[in-house]
Amino acid sequence: MRGHQSNPSAQDKVLGEKINVDNCGPSILYCRLRSAATVKGVYEDICRKTGLTKFPSQMTRPQANDLATARLKLKGIKVIILDEVHHILSNSEPVNLFLKTFLQDSGGFCLITIGTGELHDFIYNDPKNDELAGRLLDFRLEPFSRTDTVDMISKAIRQFASDADIKLGKSIINDPYFSDRVYDGCKGSYGRCMRLIVMSVIHAKEEGATSLDIEDFRSVFDITFKSFNPLNPFEFSGWEDGMGAVERGGETNPADLLFDDGQQEFSAKKKSRKRSAKVVR
């Protein structure tokens, strides 16, 4: 979820309004946790969000807790939104105590935590966290529909290519199901779809190409996503909408229906790509 994101987020759809995390209002603080975050690091990030950027060199975790709480109260913060909270889950981090810090009756804070199923399991499926589970309402966000996601993928491909000053190749423009390839290859994961698109654009630029083509996606998928999904959707010339095939095939395994029977593997281009004059090889 980003403040400048043009596509509607799941939160937008549920709440019925656009959420700008860069301008939430004076009583709301939004903090997105970093990868491999620590409790102390999150407290420091919260302080930074309130305008405090310098900390004692030997500050302990309890001191960071007290400082963050004091800064929140000083700034009149009432609602705390912590995103990507699953990044903090670790045996060495007191996550239970960290979250309950903001849920004390005397604190006056409303806490909203956002994370993956890993966070849900930590809170609601671990008996040690029964007290924490009783204080947090379980609210699951509905995933984007396939239609919405495919539409956003199509827009993202055009936008990222435009931002990189590179054209779309005929292998993408003439394929009405190209966005479906991206969707099924990433198994519907919006984040993975965006990562695949960005990395493919970067691959084309590094190759000095003048256009973004299916071969860029095929190469990136082979290198980065093959362990996640062994079926590379960019290796085939024809395409059948996987979801439509599932609807027609009943209980048939969707993995067996992504491609039409008898289709031949996509033949990677062997000829030299047209390179941009701006790129010095």
Residues 6+ apart with CB under 8 A from 115: 83, 84, 85, 86
Q: Categorise residue 91: left if φ over 0, alpha if ψ from -120 to 50, beta otherwise.
A: alpha
- Following CA atoms 205, 209, 211, 213 in sequence, which dihedral angle do they give, to the nearest 10 degrees? -90
Q: Which residue has the tokens 């996640």?
A: 228
Rg of the chain taking only CA atoms, in angstroms? 23
Q: Return the beta strands (E) in 72-212 as ranges.
A: 79-83, 110-113, 167-168, 211-212
Q: Are 276 and 208 in contact (CB under 8 A)?
A: yes
Give 152-161 contacts, CB < 8 A, sequence gap 24+.
Answer: 152/7, 152/190, 153/179, 153/182, 153/183, 153/193, 153/197, 154/178, 154/179, 155/7, 156/7, 156/193, 156/194, 156/197, 157/182, 157/197, 157/212, 160/197, 160/198, 160/201, 161/201, 161/212
What are the two backbone dihedrals, phi and then psi, of residue 211, each rounded to the nearest 5 degrees?
-145, 155
Which pLDDT score, from 0 to 100, does residue 193 have?
94
Q: Does domain 146-256 have CATH number 1.10.8.60?
A: yes
Overall residue count recorded for the chain in this entry: 281
DSSP reduced 3-state for 278 = coil
- The rounded distance, in Å, linking the Cα atoms of 158 and 166 is 10
pTM of the model: 0.58
Q: How far is C-alpha 7 from the geometric centre of its chain's CA atoms?
A: 13
Q: How many CB atoms lie under 10 A from the CB of residue 76? A: 8
DSSP reduced 3-state for 150 = helix
| Measured CA distances, 230 to 60, 103, 235 (Å) | 46, 44, 11
DSSP reduced 3-state for 62 = helix
Which pLDDT score, from 0 to 100, does residue 173 have?
94
Which pLDDT score, from 0 to 100, does residue 137 have?
86
| Measured CA distances, 129 to 24, 78, 119, 155 (Å) | 30, 24, 12, 42
For 10-135, CATH number? 3.40.50.300
Which pLDDT score, from 0 to 100, does residue 238 have?
66
Q: What is the pLDDT along the chain (281 residues), one digit of tens a residue?
A: 333 334 444 445 444 555 565 666 678 999 999 888 999 999 999 999 999 999 988 899 999 999 999 999 999 999 999 999 999 997 688 998 888 888 775 667 888 999 888 999 999 999 999 988 888 888 887 778 899 999 999 999 999 999 999 999 999 999 999 999 999 999 888 889 999 999 999 999 999 999 999 999 999 999 999 888 888 999 877 665 443 433 444 443 444 434 333 334 444 444 455 555 554 44
Every domain of the chain and the residues it spans: 10-135, 146-256
Q: Are 47 and 73 in contact (CB under 8 A)?
A: no
Q: How many CB atoms lie under 10 A from the CB of residue 21? A: 19
Pairing mode, strands 110-113 and 167-168: unpaired
